[in-house]
Amino acid sequence: MDWITNVEGLAEWIRSWGVLGILGSIALNVIISIAGVLPSIFLSGANAIVYGLVGGFFVSLTGEVLGATVAFLLYRYGLQKSKGLKKLGKFSWIQTINGSTRFRKGLAIVLLRMNPLIPSGIINLGAALTSISFVDFLVATLLGKIPSMVFETFVGHDLVYLSENKYRLIISLLAGSLVFLLFWRKEKKRPQQS
């Protein structure tokens, strides 16, 4: 499975599909989202190589949002059918989220999606366990994915073309680190519940 970690090889695979490469890339993103643990940064970088930074961003964003949506629906349907998993809805954090406003539920998804270090599968599964509506999940996912997809597209692209884009890569990595530190610091300041 060397092609998964080889952005250039993945770009060549997408390019070999011609016009259907867009659909192939989106389908691959859906598979990555359903699997829940595979990183999509390599695919975002490959899309940027094949379709350019702007085109690659939109192909990746479409794939990511569609993939998250399919995963959310599959998880929610599977959780509704599973007797054992229904017990998960009794966790206090789920009840807290379910008791919050529609805006706060959506905002939570947006903020989680903005952090490129949180696996999308965890967010999809967590959201499926809550009472957030499908439309709110979709809108929040789209809004939250835009910044993280910009990050993934630039970093994935610039890793391949390091000699040409090393300063932009450094800036992208610093910006991503800043987002992570802001989330970490906010979480650290939160009072511990006993």
pLDDT tens per residue across span 57-103? 999 999 999 999 999 999 888 877 776 556 665 667 777 777 788 89
Residue spans of beta strands (DSSP E) within 71-184:
none
Residue 193 has a pLDDT of 47
Quick one: DSSP state of residue 131? Answer: -
Helices (H), 82-130: 83-86, 92-98, 102-114, 120-129
What tokens were used for 71? 């995963």
- Cβ 136 vs Cβ 29: under 8 Å: no
- Report if pTM > 0.85: no
Task: Return the amino acid letter for 112.
Answer: L
Res. 25: pLDDT tops 70 = yes
Q: Which of 25-29, 102-106, 156-160 has the lowest mean pLDDT?
A: 156-160
Domain map (residue ranges) of the chain: 2-189
Separation of alpha carbons 110 and 75, rounded Å: 19
What tokens were used for 129? 């366990």
Q: How many residues does the chain have?
A: 194
Phi, psi dihedrals of residue 6, rounded to the nearest 5°: -100, 100
- Cβ 43 vs Cβ 52: under 8 Å: no
